Amino acid sequence: MTVQAINLGDTSADAVPVPPVSLLGTVFMAVTYMISSSITDENQGPYEIGLVAAYPNTVVRVTITQIRPVTVTFEGTSYNSGDVVTIALGQYQSAQVRTLTDRI
């Protein structure tokens, strides 16, 4: 069986193959992008990553890395470049980390 996740918008579309759980690793890199250098930061966001736990009692650590300073808020706590966001998830739970003013 092959599974694909598809996102369709008015002016864009994305698709990604979903690997079997047995192929998942423990270290991933999420890359976000700037829409256009001619658009102000306030009009570019949100930049976000989505997380899904495949197993019970999953702990995810997201390190905020960025060349220029960035602040990310998760569950009411602000994190800056170099900080680690620790997220506890149950099996099949999901979380989203996002910022409105800059890339994560």
Residue 34: predicted pLDDT: 56
Name residue 79's beta-bridge partners.
72
pTM (2 d.p.): 0.67
Q: How many angstroms from the chain centroid is the CA of residue 40? A: 21
CA distance 17 to 15: 7
Tokens of 16: 């990604």
Tens of pLDDT, residue by residue over 9-47, are 888 888 888 888 888 888 887 766 655 555 555 555 567
Average pLDDT over the chain reads 79
Residue 41: predicted pLDDT: 52
Residue 26: predicted pLDDT: 83
3-state secondary structure of 27: coil
Residue 104: predicted pLDDT: 47
Q: Which residue has the higher pLDDT, 7 or 46?
A: 7
